[in-house]
Structure 1
């Protein structure tokens, strides 16, 4: 099996605005450094038990982690007593997640999926789906976003919940980039910042202390646009938190977390 260590964005990287390109961005070299970027212990401390409590208070037991990455949330949820299936579009990420799980005494149930055809590759229905790590912004086409949300909706039980996060692209687009990395990127030996931003692309540079550099091209989703798509697909009640807080000024959070309930609610 050929190991890919170099990313390829062609001669004009800012023109790469393709949903499928993410599979070429998560090369082995970048995946090997992903845990340095996150720092599991620091991230667990900074986010606390937010996701665990959101799931428990809705009675969720069976959870589908559709953006497993290197396995941070899959492992945490398993250790909190949830039944977790770990999915990702990147085979390299899934392999690292499985390795990380095994180091911590867990055998993760992993499956490689394309969200747009999620229900072809998973089985049964779930009480909750989590899509974390700013992963939803890898979708560049609105049809892809709608199709993905519809697949998530279909994979949930009738009273299920979707928890999806995203960077605060509103603030980046309107005011420029300013992030303390307090919650999501806790590693000390990496610099993360957008090298290019326009209405259709946020190109982030990840520079590590050993001199290695990687990039991710993502679509800068605005908060209200994401909420609207969720509602149009059928999600009923949607709560949006800013860095795990209920109240916030829109420009302040690094990340928004949307908690979208599928359960049908009659209008009061």
Structure 2
């Protein structure tokens, strides 16, 4: 069911909303319509460069499942680069916006409305790569949901496939109270995305747009090592983590971590 609400509803105590299923109520039409102001596609493309395209090419990937399509930015970039892309999202509002954005740029998205926890119920194919970008994985508030989603990603990958998943650097925010700089991911002018509340099980972010419009997202603050451990435990053999598109970084510096998890079996044990 498409959420046509204009305003978000978090109830009388927004800090108690720590439920995976609530994301449907958070991505209301009015928020989704303004999401691209936050991203700024042209500046985002400039800041990322060919990082994800190069990673996928190095892995020999051709067929990609974008499980957190959002408004379609990465799906469109990959289509332009010649990849075969399927675009999935749990929000039908986001999928509609993504399809519209792609059509404006002369691309037709192959879209699937799918909840990650039951991904293979709706996606019936195998892929060289799965991408889950835009800090999307932190919408999963329960560990059982995170494990189930990763298992679904793993299952839809070919035997030598790769998962590329990113997350905010919550460690820096939780431990040092460092405010994100958004040098790469949120490139829009006159918009702000700031942490309004942060504890070990809730990251509540405030999004401010011109005209005094304010929206919020409630997410789970994933720690880097915890995420790496989950990826290994679900079966990925090698996990390489980048910080803001760099292989070498100081732990507190990046806004985002990008995990590249390889399914390819490594004889003799784990490698980093």
TM-score normalised to structure 2 length: 0.97
The gaps in structure 1 that reach 5 residues or longer are none
- State the Cα distance separating 1:3 from its structure 2 match: 2.5
Tell me, in whole angstroms, the C-alpha distance in 2 between the residues paired with 1:199 and 1:63: 33
- State the Cα distance separating 1:264 from its structure 2 match: 0.1
Map of 2:244 onto structure 1: 243
Tell me, in whole angstroms, the C-alpha distance in 1 between the residues paired with 2:114 and 2:223: 25
CA contact (8 A) 2:179 2:195 kept: no
Deviations 1:177-212 (A, max 9, x none): 322211100011211101110001000000111110
CA contact (8 A) 2:3 2:29 kept: no
Tell me, in whole angstroms, the C-alpha distance in 2 between the residues paired with 1:183 and 1:253: 10
Secondary structure, counterpart of 1:250 in structure 2: coil
Is residue 186 from structure 1 mapped to residue 187 from structure 2 by the alignment?
Answer: yes
- State the Cα distance separating 1:58 from its structure 2 match: 1.0
Moved more, 18-27 or 180-189: 180-189
Tell me, in whole angstroms, the C-alpha distance in 2 between the residues paired with 1:58 and 1:167: 24
Tell me, in whole angstroms, the C-alpha distance in 2 between the residues paired with 1:114 and 1:151: 10
Tell me, in whole angstroms, the C-alpha distance in 1 between the residues paired with 2:94 and 2:125: 23
The 5-angstrom pairing of residues 183-222 of structure 1 reads 183-222=184-223
Map of 2:17 onto structure 1: 16
Map of 1:82 onto structure 2: 83
Deviations 1:60-89 (A, max 9, x none): 010000000000000000000000000000
Is residue 63 from structure 1 mapped to residue 64 from structure 2 by the alignment?
Answer: yes
Is residue 34 from structure 1 mapped to residue 32 from structure 2 by the alignment?
Answer: no
Secondary structure, counterpart of 2:264 in structure 1: coil
CA contact (8 A) 1:63 1:84 kept: yes
The 5-angstrom pairing of residues 114-133 of structure 1 reads 114-133=115-134
Map of 1:254 onto structure 2: 255
Tell me, in whole angstroms, the C-alpha distance in 2 between the residues paired with 1:169 and 1:143: 20
Considering only aligned residues, what root-mean-square deviation do their CA atoms show, in Å? 0.9
Tell me, in whole angstroms, the C-alpha distance in 2 between the residues paired with 1:189 and 1:101: 25
CA contact (8 A) 2:76 2:102 kept: yes
CA contact (8 A) 1:61 1:82 kept: yes
CA contact (8 A) 2:3 2:25 kept: no
Secondary structure, counterpart of 1:246 in structure 2: coil
Map of 1:105 onto structure 2: 106
Map of 2:227 onto structure 1: 226
TM-score normalised to structure 1 length: 0.99
CA contact (8 A) 1:68 1:74 kept: yes
Map of 2:268 onto structure 1: 267
- State the Cα distance separating 1:246 from its structure 2 match: 0.2
Moved more, 155-164 or 180-189: 180-189
Report the count of equivalent residues.
268
Is residue 168 from structure 1 mapped to residue 192 from structure 2 by the alignment?
Answer: no
- State the Cα distance separating 1:267 from its structure 2 match: 1.9
